[in-house]
Structure formats: C-alpha cells, structure tokens
C-alpha cells in the first residue's frame, strides 16, 4: 500500500495506551523510517521508510471517531522526526482537539525545536541511547551533538518530558549509564527512566536475552540521588525496590 505525497508514512497504530502519555488516555501512531540502527530495536520493520501500511486519512478517521474518549495522540516510530510531514500530521491531530505527545531519539533538533517553540507538544520522551561521544558505537550514527541540542531545547522549553535509556548489559555498560546520568544531571533535568531490554523481536536477532543482573545497586543508588523523579521500567523487582 502506498500513501499520498505530503502525508505521513504510517507503519502502525496502537489504538489505546494508558502508559505512553502521562495522565492521558491515548493512542500511538507509529511513523516509518529511522536514521539509526540500534541493535536492540523492537520495531525493525519500521526502520525503513518504505510505503505506508495505513493511509493517514484512515488514522484521521479513527481519531475523529474516538473524540471524547481518547485525549492524546503519541507519535512514535521508527523516528517520527525523520519525516518532514510530521508537522502537518501534528496540526491535523491538534485540529481534532487532541493533545500531542512525541517519542523521539533527538536526532533532528531543528524539527523538534520548531514544534517546542510553537507549543505543539504536551509531552516529549527523548531516548538517550549512549553517553556523549559513544553514539556511533550503539546506533551506527554519530548524532551526539544533535541529541545534546535536542535535550537542551527540551529542558529549556519547560514542556513535560522524560529522558530514558534502554539497557542491555552487553550494549550499555554501568559506566555508560553513569555517564548518561551525569550528562542529564548537568542539563538540569529531574526525570530519568531506565528501561530494561525486553526479549523478543529485535533488529539484531543474535542479541541474547538478559540472564543475570542488568542494573547494579551502586548505579541505582547514584541515579536515585541524582534524579528526584528517577524510574525503572520492565523489571518488576527493581520497580518494587524503587518504591520502597
């Protein structure tokens, strides 16, 4: 299936989520295409832009029908800011009365900055893949400066946000986690979430499941001290410890 020129290339729709947009009942629209190639990527079918799987008009029709029930729409991917049609898609979504959230890898600060400046976003989750200077090692692309700029723009915008890092111990070491923490702390954010890698479909199918400890106590202690709103996802035991 192909999509119309100038329309976003949609790879999927999650019709309901209670966890991707804080305090809002939302859906997630997955846009195709990504500039990175993270080994642990759980959406390998979305990294190539290809052609659309769902026409944008069908998404709009769905959003129209869900008005009054859904409150927000999250654009995810792939990398949603990779598409220059994102802004028009967000305008369409706002026109239907929805709040808009964005999940991004921060690779395109100019695009993100424009949306922030025009107050088009109510929430942004920015993935920090690696500490500054190591992006090429994990993603294949040295976008360190772009991510730094996106992070700075996001914090300066004062729009609700979170920074988050996916951890697979063979790819992201404890030293890296601490360096990412120091980097984010230096920018002044209070919200940082570590996400435990979840076994399943990945861009690199040879990536093994996590069998041992993925987050040491000393790292956890340090991050809890650094970030008043530190969080963990994907590990019920660690989440329980955090709540204690």
User: In this structure, are residues 143 and 107 in contact, taking their beta carbons and an 8 Å threshold?
Assistant: yes
Question: Is residue 47 close enough to count as binding ligand SF4 by CB under 6 A?
Answer: yes
> How far is the C-alpha of 26 from the C-alpha of 235, rounded, in Å?
23
Question: Is residue 43 close enough to count as binding ligand SF4 by CB under 6 A?
Answer: yes
By C-beta, is 45 or 241 nearer to ligand SF4? 45
Question: Is residue 20 close enough to count as binding ligand SF4 by CB under 6 A?
Answer: no
The residue from 9, 28, 31, 36 that contacts ligand SF4 (CB under 6 A) is 36
Least Cβ distance, residue 146 to ligand SF4 (angstroms): 12
Which residue stretch of 32-40, 144-152, 215-223, 236-244 sits at the interface with ligand SF4 (rule: CB under 6 A)? Answer: 32-40
Least Cβ distance, residue 50 to ligand SF4 (angstroms): 14
> How far is the C-alpha of 180 from the C-alpha of 56, rounded, in Å?
36
Binding mask 111-150 for ligand SF4 (x = CB under 6 A): ----------------------------------------
Least Cβ distance, residue 7 to ligand SF4 (angstroms): 20
Question: Is residue 81 close enough to count as binding ligand SF4 by CB under 6 A?
Answer: no
- Measured CA distances, 9 to 5, 207, 219 (Å): 9, 29, 40
Per CB under 6 A, residues contacting ligand SF4 are 34, 36-38, 41, 43, 47, 77-79, 105
């Amino acid at each position: 299936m192909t999509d119309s020129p100038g329309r976003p290339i949609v790879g999927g729709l999650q019709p309901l989520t209670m966890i991707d947009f804080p305090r809002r009942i939302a859906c997630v629209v997955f846009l195709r295409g990504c500039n990175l190639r993270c080994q642990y990527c759980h959406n390998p079918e979305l990294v190539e832009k290809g052609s659309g799987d769902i026409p944008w008009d069908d998404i709009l029709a769905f959003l129209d029908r869900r008005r009054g029930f859904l409150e927000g729409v999250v654009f995810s991917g792939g990398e949603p800011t990779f598409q220059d049609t994102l802004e028009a898609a967000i305008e369409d979504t706002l026109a239907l009365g929805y709040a808009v959230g964005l999940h991004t890898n921060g690779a395109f600060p100019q695009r993100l900055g424009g949306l922030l400046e025009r107050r088009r976003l109510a929430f942004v989750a920015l993935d920090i893949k690696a500490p500054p200077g190591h992006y090429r090692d994990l993603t294949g692309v040295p976008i360190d400066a772009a991510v730094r700029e996106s992070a700075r723009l996001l914090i300066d915008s004062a729009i609700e946000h979170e920074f988050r890092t996916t951890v697979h111990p063979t790819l992201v070491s404890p030293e890296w986690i601490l360096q990412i923490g120091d980097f984010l702390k230096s920018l002044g954010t209070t919200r940082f979430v570590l996400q435990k890698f979840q076994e399943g479909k990945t861009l690199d199918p040879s990536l093994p499941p996590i069998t041992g400890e993925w987050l040491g106590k000393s790292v956890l202690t340090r991050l809890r001290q650094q970030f008043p709103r530190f969080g963990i996802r994907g590990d019920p035991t660690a989440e329980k410890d955090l709540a204690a």
